[in-house]
């Protein structure tokens, strides 16, 4: 639920919103959606529950032609209330539901050897089934693309270390990498994190574009400067999905960043977290 307001309310203050909109969202869904738009074969390895919100989500997914592989009985889906203030920044109030649960049996009819890479959100790792997800990744020795997300400091060190041992590609923003590395210096943070993962690290820098570090070199790409920001919801998720697509098609690192920056800029130019066909017009990965 996206609510546009002039400012965040003070305690006991009553304010009116300018608009309210319902959209599909969530880190995993946003990545899955952009992968589909970029013609990357993918599976939405998430569950859908039973109840009021689950019915809304299910109807929206059907309209998109999408279907998650999991089913959660006797539990409704959750909701994220996104407050977009006059600065166009967003604040989230989340209630976690069925979409944060995980069952490895969802994949029993899938040939896991066909899976090229698995995208994992830190929000799910933080939640109560996070250990189940990590055990599934460890057991199957997947290549992992990990997006810790804004609540990175709430993921236990033990779980983070288990993820690091999987040598994941990590995608995060500047604030998140400084938090995860306990450093105030971006270059130092890149080296510290790479020492733990031995894989590439992608960092979004907002209006300043993004960078990729491979342990030897920092690759950079700028972002569009003339974008009128509507809201920033989902920009990082879609950037991550575009990076995944670029890696799938074996593009050079600088080209991956340029494409991801373009898509991220398109996302902030319209309401909501999810990409649409116009956001990827003219983008060719093959």
DSSP string, 56-117: HHHHHHHHHT---SEE-TT----EEEEEE-TTS-EEEEEE--GGG---GGGGTTS-GGG---
Domain-located, residue 96: no
Domain-located, residue 255: yes
Residue ranges making up the domain that contains 121 = 27-43+102-280
pTM score:
0.91
Domain-located, residue 207: yes
Domain-located, residue 132: yes
Domain-located, residue 87: no
Domain-located, residue 204: yes
Distance between CA atoms of residues 276 and 234, nearest Å:
12
Helix ranges (H only) for the chain are 27-37, 52-64, 122-126, 130-140, 157-164, 174-181, 186-197, 235-248, 253-268
Reading the chain (286 residues) residue by residue, the pLDDT tens digits are: 989 999 999 999 999 999 998 888 888 999 999 999 999 999 999 989 999 999 999 999 999 999 888 899 999 999 999 998 888 788 889 999 999 999 999 999 999 999 999 999 999 999 999 999 999 999 999 999 999 988 888 999 999 999 999 999 999 999 999 999 999 999 999 999 999 999 999 999 988 999 999 999 999 999 876 677 766 677 889 999 999 999 999 999 999 999 999 888 888 777 666 777 787 887 888 6
Domain-located, residue 88: no
Domain-located, residue 73: no
What CATH number did the domain enclosing 172 receive? Answer: 3.40.1190.20
Counted domains in the chain: 1
């Amino acid at each position: 639920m996206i609510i546009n307001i002039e400012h965040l309310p003070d305690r006991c203050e009553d304010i009116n919103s300018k608009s309210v909109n319902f959209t599909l969202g969530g880190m995993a869904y946003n990545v899955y959606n952009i992968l589909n738009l970029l013609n990357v074969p993918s599976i939405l390895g998430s569950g859908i529950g039973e109840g009021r919100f689950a019915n809304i989500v299910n109807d929206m997914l059907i309209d998109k032609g999408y279907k998650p592989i999991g089913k959660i009985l006797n539990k409704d889906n959750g909701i994220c209330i996104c407050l977009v203030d006059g600065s166009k920044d967003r604040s989230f109030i989340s209630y976690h539901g069925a979409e944060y649960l995980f069952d490895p049996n969802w994949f029993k009819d899938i040939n896991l050897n066909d899976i090229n890479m698995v995208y994992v959100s830190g929000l799910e790792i933080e939640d109560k089934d996070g250990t189940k997800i990590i055990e599934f990744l460890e057991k199957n020795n997947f290549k992992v693309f990990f997006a810790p997300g804004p609540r990175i400091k709430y993921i236990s060190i033990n779980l983070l270390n288990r993820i690091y041992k999987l040598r994941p590609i990590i995608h995060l923003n500047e604030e998140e990498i400084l938090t995860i590395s306990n450093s105030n210096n971006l270059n130092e943070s890149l080296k510290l994190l790479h020492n733990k993962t031995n894989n590439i690290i992608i960092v979004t820098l907002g209006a300043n574009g993004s960078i990729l570090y491979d342990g030897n070199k920092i690759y950079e790409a700028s972002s569009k400067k003339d974008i009128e920001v509507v809201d920033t919801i989902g920009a990082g998720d879609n950037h991550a999905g575009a990076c995944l697509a670029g890696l799938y098609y074996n593009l050079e690192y600088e080209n991956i960043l340029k494409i991801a920056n373009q898509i991220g800029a398109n996302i902030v130019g319209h309401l909501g977290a999810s990409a649409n066909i116009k956001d990827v017009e003219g983008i060719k990965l093959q």
